[in-house]
Amino acid sequence: MMLRSLPAGFLRIPDPQISQRAKSAHVEALGKRESAAEILSEAKELMKPGSTAVVVGAQWGDEGKGKIVDVLSENFSVVARYAGGHNAGHTVIRDGNKFILQLIPCGILRPGCRAVIGNGVVLDPMALLREIGTLRDAGVPVTGPAAADRSSANLFVSNRAHVILPYHRMIELAAENAPGRVKIGTTSRGIGPAYEDKMGRRGLRVADMLDPALLRKHIANACAEKNMIAHALFNTEPLDQDAMYTEYARAAEQVAPFVCDTALLVNQAIGAGESVLFEGAQGTMLDIDHGTYPFVTSSSATSGGAATGTGVAPTAINSVIGVTKAYCTRVGEGPFPTEIVGPVGDELRKRGNEFGAVTGRPRRCGWLDLPLLRYARMINGISWLVVTKLDVLDEMAEILVCVAYKLDGKKRTEIPAHASGYERVEAIYEKLAGWRKSTSGVTSFGKLPAEARAYLQFVEKESGARIGMVSTGPDREQTIFVDDFTAQLGMEKTVDRVKARA
Ligand code: GDP
Ligand code: IMO
Ligand code: MG
């Protein structure tokens, strides 16, 4: 029978005996070469288990991933970005200095840590060079693998990542403002059109950008086509392909020392038993497949994206850490069932300083949404939850938490799959008592006010994910660690240091 859209497994009746027989046949076949024990030990040799974890946003981005990756990165020798581009803005505060990282993983700020920009990222070379310049100006060394002393290299850019070109931004800006188009409220960085070209198999990869002849040919063809499209659809002025080539050829020379096969690098690190952290950008609800489509970004922001976006096997990922705010925010257009419009929302924005790290746009604020958090847990396989910005709720007399939705008069706990469903959704809230005491900088669960502990326990119970860390301020030290979490990640030293400094 020929199956077109159904998976072949659709026809298979689950039969444990069949899978047992298949296993034996497999071992038998392999046994012709060597014994099963030998095969097993060879497999172990190939997959030395270093600790690998994905840090993923459990909401609509800006959950505080930057701070959390920074805290965790002390225990990881590689930190790799796998999706998005310079639409991301990850804030890290180090020794009182604020860094906003857009393309470069936060691991760059840790001496001895290697930062990797994976193949799943879309790269604007000018944005990368600006970011490298800003880091160096702030005294952070940034060196690529082509440096004379390769051992000091700490930034690696995938040769397979796709390149953002000026026509991507041109088309995005025109499309966002065109009559009749659904406005997404993008960051205007050309992210969506760059991924469109990647999927349309007409994109430019970093390796090709480094070849001047290929670069010239690509720009000549693509620019002519994009100019025509933009003029026909949006009456946009054409871009100059010669100026574009000159700018990109110059940038390519400066980017070249950082470029390598990052899939090989990350896999070799894992094989050698090193620990690798995958730094998610955006958040679950902005994921191209699983988010509030079409109000999403154009990449796989969820944990699955870490495998395809860096070239590691899904089986190489040990744990997934989901980051959620103690409340909820969103930038840009799209559904937001727990949004608070009015003075309470304004107060959250003010206390949480909820303005976009990249665009400065005010973030929409709302209450924590548990159906959404449970969904994020399922889609990402979240094993540990990190709750950030607990201190922002300090002044609230009462705190609302959405526990379910009402859709067409019926209570439901799952989130709708399409935009029209969200429009009809009503949040069902449970009210919890506020604590009205400062939690800012608290470093142990026991020192939190009883109501704050109750709030976290409620979130843990209702979301079904264990809380591993709680953030009580933007600084590294303003963090509560849960023992089981730190033991699993081997972070005892970090905890001691944080407690000593706090
Ligand atoms: P990301 O995109 O997920 O890395 O998050 P952003 O950096 O865009 O936004 C998070 C903002 O909250 C940043 O300004 C952080 O410095 C700040 N932040 C992170 N954790 C905390 C916290 O626990 N309390 C407070 N008050 N601010 C925090
Ligand atoms: P970090 O990594 C919050 C949002 C934009 C817009 C939508 C599509 O800092 O959490 P795009 O430019 O990606 O095509 O815009 O996605 N968006 C983010 N919102 N945090 C982000 O990143 C975001 N990256 C994109 O505001 O609604
Ligand atoms: Mg951000």
pLDDT, one tens digit per residue, over 90-108 is: 999 998 999 999 999 999 9
Confidence (pLDDT) at 4: 66
Q: Which DSSP string corresponds to 149-168?
A: SGGG--EEEETTSEEP-HHH
pLDDT, one tens digit per residue, over 273-327 is: 999 999 999 999 999 999 999 999 999 999 999 999 999 999 999 999 999 999 9
Confidence (pLDDT) at 33: 34
- Residue 15 reports pLDDT greater than 80: no
Confidence (pLDDT) at 44: 38
The set of residues, in sequence order, having a beta carbon less than 8 Å from that of 206 and lying 6+ positions away, is 123, 157, 158, 159, 160, 161, 162, 163, 255, 259
Pairing of the two strands 426-433 and 398-407? antiparallel
> Separation of 297 CA from ligand 2 center, angstroms?
6
Confidence (pLDDT) at 49: 47
Band the pLDDT of 5: cuts 50, 70, 90: low
CB-CB neighbours of 307 under 10 Å: 19
> Separation of 89 CA from ligand 3 center, angstroms?
4
Ligand nearest to the CA of 354: 1
Q: Is 62 in the pocket of ligand 1 (CB under 6 A)?
A: yes
Mean pLDDT of the chain: 90
CA–CA dist 331, 135 (Å, integer):
26
Token pair recorded at residue 261: 């096969």
Ligand nearest to the CA of 297: 2
Contact 142, 152 (CB under 8 A): no
CA–CA dist 417, 432 (Å, integer):
29
What three-state secondary structure class fits 382? coil
CA-based angle 83:88:94, to the nearest 5? 115
Contact 208, 215 (CB under 8 A): yes
Band the pLDDT of 334: cuts 50, 70, 90: very high
Q: Is 345 in the pocket of ligand 1 (CB under 6 A)?
A: no
Query: What are the E-state strand segments in 301-457?
Result: 319-325, 328-330, 364-366, 368-369, 384-388, 398-407, 410-412, 426-433
Q: Is 166 in the pocket of ligand 1 (CB under 6 A)?
A: no
CA–CA dist 148, 145 (Å, integer):
8
Task: Using most ligand atoms within 8 A of CB, pick from 278, 297, 361 the residue to mutate for ligand 2.
Answer: 297
Token pair recorded at residue 182: 């659904």
Q: How many residues does the chain have?
A: 502
Question: Which amino acid is located at 140 in the chain?
Answer: V
Confidence (pLDDT) at 488: 84
Token pair recorded at residue 175: 């499309």
CA-CA-CA-CA dihedral for 55, 330, 86, 147, to nearest 10 = -30
pLDDT, one tens digit per residue, over 156-168 is: 999 999 999 999 9
> What number does the ligand 1 atom closest to the CA of 352 have?
26
CA–CA dist 286, 461 (Å, integer):
25
> What number does the ligand 1 atom closest to the CA of 472 have?
23
> Separation of 339 CA from ligand 2 center, angstroms?
17
pLDDT, one tens digit per residue, over 71-88 is: 999 999 999 999 999 999
> What number does the ligand 1 atom closest to the CA of 479 have?
23
Contact 278, 82 (CB under 8 A): yes
Confidence (pLDDT) at 419: 77
> Separation of 251 CA from ligand 2 center, angstroms?
25
- Residue 46 reports pLDDT greater than 60: no
DSSP assigned state of 32: T
**Over residues 146-157, mean pLDDT:** 91
Band the pLDDT of 500: cuts 50, 70, 90: confident
* Residue carrying the six token digits 């040769």: 159
Token pair recorded at residue 279: 């730094």
Question: Which amino acid is located at 69 in the chain?
Answer: V
CB-CB neighbours of 267 under 10 Å: 17
Task: Using most ligand atoms within 8 A of CB, pick from 71, 359, 388, 456 the residue to mutate for ligand 1.
Answer: 388
CA–CA dist 364, 361 (Å, integer):
9
pLDDT, one tens digit per residue, over 174-219 is: 999 898 889 999 999 999 999 999 999 999 999 999 999 999 999 9
- Residue 11 reports pLDDT greater than 60: no
pTM of the model: 0.91
Band the pLDDT of 1: cuts 50, 70, 90: low
- Residue 13 reports pLDDT greater than 50: no
Q: Is 475 in the pocket of ligand 1 (CB under 6 A)?
A: no
> Separation of 300 CA from ligand 2 center, angstroms?
12
CA–CA dist 189, 297 (Å, integer):
11
Percent of the residues in the chain that have a pLDDT greater than 90, as a whole number: 79
